[in-house]
Amino acid sequence: MPPTDAPVSPDPVDELAAAFARDGVVCVRRLFGRAEVAAAAEVIEAVMERPGPHAKVASGPEDPGRFFEDFVRWQELPALEELAVTSSAAAVAARLLGGGAVRFYHDHVLVKEGGTEQRTPWHQDQPYYNVDGRGVSAWIPVDPVPRPGSLELLAGSHHGPWYLPRTFLAKEAKWFPEGSLAELPDLEAGRDGLDIRSFELAPGDAVFFDFLTVHGAPGFPFSGRRRVLSLRYLSAGARHAPRPWATSPPFEGLEAELAAGAAMDHPLFPLVSHRSSPTTSAGE
Ligand SMILES: O=C(O)CCC(=O)C(=O)O
């Protein structure tokens, strides 16, 4: 038995959960090992070769690079389902969301080709979704990401308010109507005074962030590509919030099967059953 006054070293995963609750963002180094990074890279290549119905190019025709996105492909790609539901991403998400019946929400592939100038505008994800309650995304690059090309997140912004979601290129209010939510302040103008977090990342490192954390990303002014798999998870307290508009991503017809306010208990949102235990610790 250790002496009772021996210092107790805090569980690194609990430290991570405390940092996530405070800041709405944490970086986990080496979340994916070599085999998982290779599997994620293969998934991204398969998605790019055969884009799905929700795929889009979120950069203009004049951009010297390209910003490609696709969503919700896990049902066609068993390797993606495995990463989403049983990997250490699911394990860390479950710990960050406080346990309970954590569900996988959807996958999102985000690729910026080398030289892409298109910025990902500052935004929160949740106002585009069909859920109320908490969730977390794991943004996992399979290529090295230098800090000037990396995701940026405004610490503490997950406490709210919700900001009006707009289309990335034309800035249209296609979801909540104009005036119904606060406008996002001009973060670029005041960024020196803000607690903006960003990380230089190696393949398999991950940035976990709350569905309400305000985030954006620069273009990718490098020769390599920036291929990212983002895996999104729902807390046990998340509830279905059908909207009178098509959410992004859309879940057509779901309101006929899942009542407004119901738990997200549906085969589209499988329970996570992670095999790996999270032993990773927070990055800087
Ligand atoms: O990868 C990016 O450029 C932006 C990522 C993002 O907005 C997201 O994962 O929600």
Distance 5 CA to ligand 1 centre (A): 46
Model pLDDT, residue 83:
98
The DSSP secondary-structure symbol of 191 reads G
pLDDT digits (tens, 9 = 90+) for 59-116: 999 999 999 999 999 999 999 999 999 999 999 999 999 878 899 999 999 999 999 9
Return d(Cα 13, Cα 29) in angstroms, integer. Answer: 12
Rounded to two decimals, what is the model's pTM?
A: 0.93
Nearest to 87 by CA among 204, 228, 199: 204
To test ligand 1's pocket by mutation, which of 222, 230, 247, 248 has the most ligand atoms within 8 angstroms of CB?
230
Ramachandran region of residue 103, left (φ > 0), alpha (ψ -120 to 50) or beta? beta
pLDDT digits (tens, 9 = 90+) for 170-216: 999 999 999 999 999 999 998 999 999 999 999 999 999 999 999 99
Return d(Cα 65, Cα 61) in angstroms, integer. Answer: 9
Torsion sign, CA atoms 170, 171, 172, 175: positive
Return d(Cα 53, Cα 19) in angstroms, integer. Answer: 37
To test ligand 1's pocket by mutation, which of 25, 106, 120, 209 has the most ligand atoms within 8 angstroms of CB?
120
In this model, does residue 246 exceed pLDDT 90? yes
Q: HSE, CB side, 13 Å, CA atoms: give it for residue 273.
A: 5
Query: Contact, 96 vs 206, CB < 8 A?
Result: no
In this model, does residue 158 exceed pLDDT 50? yes
Least confident of 62-71, 165-174, 270-279: 270-279
Atom of ligand 1 nearest to the CA of 108: 9
Model pLDDT, residue 1:
36
Distance 2 CA to ligand 1 centre (A): 46
Q: Whose CA is nearest to atom 6 of ligand 1?
A: 216
- What are the structural domains of the chain? 24-256 (2.60.120.620)
In this model, does residue 274 exceed pLDDT 90? no
Using N-to-C axis directions, what is the helix angle for 78-86 and 34-49, rounded to 10°? 140
Residue 5: pLDDT band (50, 70, 90) is very low
Structure tokens at 80: 């993606």
Query: Contact, 81 vs 74, CB < 8 A?
Result: yes
CB proximity list for 235: less than 8 A, separation 6 or greater: 97, 98, 100, 102, 133, 134, 135, 136
Model pLDDT, residue 99:
77
